[in-house]
Amino acid sequence: MGGHNAPVNSQKATAEKVPVWPRVLAVAALLACTLTAGWSHLLQGNAPGLGVAWWLPAVITAIPVFAVRGTPFKYACLAAGVLLLVLAVFVAFWPIPVALILFVAAAADPQRAPWHARVSVLVGVSLAVIASVAPVEGIYRGLTSPPAGFVVHTSSEFTVTEPAFDRVVQGAASGYGVESMTTVRAPDHEGLSITVQFRPDLPVDGQERLRRHLTEAPGVTKVCSWYRDNHLRSRC
């Protein structure tokens, strides 16, 4: 009796494990979600109230990956998918394809319905590829694109009513190839942050002349290169 029960128990234990195809879909969902979160963080960094929100979907998507048995894996996929749909209402629509991949992973059971599982894998992998194309392109562009301007950081005493502000804005706008400027209040009351965007065809020596002009203005603490698609590279 014991000799017959051992193989049966072994087969049951093996059957309870998560099959390869659904686990592949869960990993694909995690990869697509991580790429999108990294792209969002690259574009906007730790924006107020959104710094953690970029990576929260990736944390939720990682939960099914750590499930060992089949039934907990299905429940984890369904729960994570629902959480992502709820999160998509408050953050952005991009967690929705990841949630769909997790739902497909929960339904893909090659032991009960092999053909249905194959179709599910095909659909899930296609969704993962489609969801990853834009983030991969965006990350590559953000890491390789040249600077598009400068970010001028000023002291807390620097205001728009000072002659120094006119020197930065009006002086830079005349003869330095500047296209546009954006002025915002820097965090922690450090002063104003002025984003100066120059022409794409401005040569390197022209960019350096503009940088020197901005650096020499009274009240300017530092001048950083500004990258349109990379918030992290724009910090100095």
For 83-140, the pLDDT digits (tens) are: 999 988 877 788 999 999 999 999 887 777 777 778 888 999 999 999 999 999 999 9
Start-end of H helices in 91-193: 95-107, 114-144, 163-173
Weakest mean pLDDT among 51-60, 109-118, 196-205:
109-118
Under a CB-based contact definition with an 8 Å cutoff, are residues 163 and 206 in contact?
A: no
Question: Does the structure show a pLDDT above 60 at 189?
Answer: no
pLDDT for residue 100: 95
Residue 60: what residue type? I
- Give residue 8's pLDDT band: very low, low, confident or very high (50, 70, 90): very low
Helix (H) or strand (E) holding 153: strand 149-154
Q: What are the residues whose beta carbons fall under 8 Å from the beta carbon of 136, sequence distance 6 or more? A: 35
State residue 162's pLDDT score: 60
Token pair 């120094």 is found at 164
- Read off the pTM: 0.76
Q: Which pLDDT score, from 0 to 100, does residue 9 have?
A: 47
Average pLDDT, the chain: 81
Q: How confident is the model at residue 174 (pLDDT cuts 50, 70, 90)?
A: low
Q: Which of 56-65, 98-107, 196-205 has the lowest mean pLDDT?
A: 196-205
Q: What is the pLDDT of residues 156-172, one digit of tens each?
A: 766 666 666 666 666 56
Question: For residue 7, is pLDDT > 60?
Answer: no
Determine the average pLDDT of the residues in 40-58: 76
Predicted local confidence at residue 47, as pLDDT: 61
C-beta separation of 113 from 94 below 8 A: no
Contacts of 39 (CB under 8 A, 6+ apart): 134, 135, 138, 139, 142
